[in-house]
Amino acid sequence: MTRVVFWNLQKFGINKINDPSTERSPGQGGLTDQRASHERGVVVARVLIAANPDIIVLIEVASGDTSPDTLASNSGGMEGLLYLLDGLRAAAPGAGWRLVPPLRIGLGGRSETVGVFYRGALADGDLLYFTGPNGWQGAWAGHSVMPMPGVVIPINPYPVAGLVTPDLSNLLAPQRIVPPNALHNGNAYENMLAARVAYRPVPGFPYAVTGDDFVDFGEYRQPYMVTFTRTDAFGNVRNDLTIFAVHPSPQGILPTQFRTYLTYLQDVVAARGALETRIIGGDFNLRLLAADGADSGAYAPLNDPPNYAYEPLLTSPGAPLDENDLEAFKGYFATHIREAGDLTVDSLFLWSSEEVDSPYPGYGYIGSNFAPDFESVDNILVWPRVDRAYNTTIMNVLTGAPFNEVAPPPAGAPAGGPLPAGNLRSSMTNPAGWNALIVPVPGAVPNFVAIPIPPAPNAPAGYTQGDRNNLTSWANYGHLKSTSDHFAIVADI
């Protein structure tokens, strides 16, 4: 199996994890921007080391508006991805970490890119190849081009440098040739292939198309398609993976419209290859749970057998029988967290008492400041969903203590996969070696020491203002929320 992580790493760029500034911005506990970014980098490293993935898909990476060109610009997002690639390679030199050249999706203020990292050499001796599915045409001012049957399209390596791009020639180094039996682009060079960001519709598509008969997403972000082939050490193909990374704009009905568009894209719904598994993952901005905790049905339109059958790996087993279990039940599915300031509205949010219930996971941090019932908006959908364990886990970096001993899960909530980090309420256990992912910065310490916070729920009644402030301080909740308002999701595909 291939382990894949999807993470909306909020507004990701170089300053998120390696800010050179020695200024002291507000809300960072008096730390310099450099030190604060280092602590955010520690969070990123701990998640990735604990998940131990083969493929990492980072959503919401800054791209710059490069239209009409396709490559993300030499912005903070690109710099951040290159910095993280260097860290991955330094931490695991034998893994052959690579980065799919980042392309822009969306226009104007909605534009961003997706960072897709993968191991060229897997732990069991298998090899993983990036296979496109597109080719790269041009140099720095180039485009991702869809192969056409019977048409020879010249493709080229990525530029050493350009007017708006850094040196991209090393992202897919050393140069390798895709196995001839791969589903896409057999015998092509990896470093001449590209992700796909433009899609043909199925017949009868009821919405707008461009002059080239591609689906017209307007200024909104389209899916980000990448394909891989996994082989054994002798070049025999084990399986082909097709990944669609998604992050629709959250406003109004746009997430629902985006989901509907997916059901009309040829690449999403066409018959699969013999060894192909398709995955749609990321931040859907769709509510997983109904108000009573039952499945909302948000992903049902993507499961239409025998035509196509994408099944969400995060799904409710049904509403809790006891409504008193509802809030704790929701906590096991939470992938989104609130602003720290919102946690201080109720002074008893720290624990349960006779008057106020603070159910798992406590502290009132799950959800959103701008929408109700917005706890679970990230997911991974898989076609086929066969009768097997995908070991799906939400990498919740907030519940290592004191909640990692809360058992059994309330109201039949799923326990999650057997990852080193725990289960759906994953505890980040600070595994040995995580700091290898972080390039030291002058004056930085390898880790910070969080201020103790009260145990919860069901702690003794009573509280102090200091306890509450400790929870929401930079040393505890502050740097975690600053890293991202989403948790990563990991699954074995």
Tens digits of residue pLDDT in 152-211: 667 777 776 665 567 788 899 999 999 999 999 999 999 999 999 999 999 999 999 998
Q: What is the pLDDT of residue 420?
A: 43
Of 131, 38, 47, the residue nearest 88 (C-alpha):
47
d(CA 375, CA 11): 19
Proportion of the chain above pLDDT 70, given as a percent:
79
Q: What is the pLDDT of residue 245?
A: 98
**Which regions of 44-96 does DSSP assign to beta strands (E)?**
55-61
Q: What is the pLDDT of residues 84-119, one digit of tens each?
A: 999 999 999 999 999 999 999 998 778 999 999 999
Sheet with 134-137, strands from edge to edge, namely: 143-145, 134-137, 193-194
Query: Which position has the higher pLDDT, 369 or 88?
Result: 88
Domain extents in the chain? 3-492
Q: What is the mean pLDDT of the chain?
A: 82
| Strand partners for 240 | 229, 276
Q: Does residue 433 contact residue 403 with C-beta atoms inside 8 Å?
A: no
Q: What is the pLDDT of residue 141?
A: 67
Q: What is the pLDDT of residue 436?
A: 39
Q: Does residue 169 contact residue 147 with C-beta atoms inside 8 Å?
A: no
Select the highest-mean-pLDDT range: 72-76, 147-151, 266-270, 442-446. Answer: 266-270
Q: Which amino acid is at 115?
A: G
Q: What is the mean pLDDT of residues 396-406?
A: 55
| Strand partners for 209 | 215
Q: What is the pLDDT of residue 4?
A: 96
- Poorest-pLDDT segment among 70-84, 211-225, 350-364: 350-364
| Strand partners for 277 | 241
The pTM score is: 0.90
Q: What is the pLDDT of residue 140?
A: 64
Of 432, 429, 427, the residue nearest 416 (C-alpha):
427
Residue that is written with structure tokens 């992912």 in the block: 437
d(CA 295, CA 335): 15
Q: What is the pLDDT of residue 323?
A: 85
Q: What is the pLDDT of residue 39?
A: 87
Q: Which amino acid is at 420?
A: P
3-state secondary structure of 364: coil
At residue 44, φ and ψ (nearest 5 deg) are: -60, -45
d(CA 354, CA 368): 26
Q: Which amino acid is at 36?
A: A
CATH of 3-492, one of 1.10.3080.10, 2.40.30.130, 3.40.50.450, 3.60.10.10: 3.60.10.10
Q: What is the pLDDT of residue 448?
A: 37
Per-residue confidence band for 488, with pLDDT thresholds at 50, 70 and 90 = very high
pLDDT at 452 over 70: no
Q: Does residue 386 contact residue 313 with C-beta atoms inside 8 Å?
A: no
Cα dihedral sign for 35, 41, 43, 49? negative
Q: What is the pLDDT of residue 443?
A: 37
Proportion of the chain above pLDDT 90, given as a percent:
51
Cβ-Cβ contacts under 8 Å for 465 (sequence gap 6 or more): none
Q: What is the pLDDT of residue 209?
A: 93
- Poorest-pLDDT segment among 51-60, 180-189, 252-261, 411-420: 411-420
Per-residue confidence band for 451, with pLDDT thresholds at 50, 70 and 90 = very low
Cβ-Cβ contacts under 8 Å for 413 (sequence gap 6 or more): 317, 329, 332, 333, 424
Query: Which position has the higher pLDDT, 443 or 361?
Result: 361
Query: Which position has the higher pLDDT, 31 or 472?
Result: 31
Pairing of the two strands 104-105 and 127-132 = unpaired
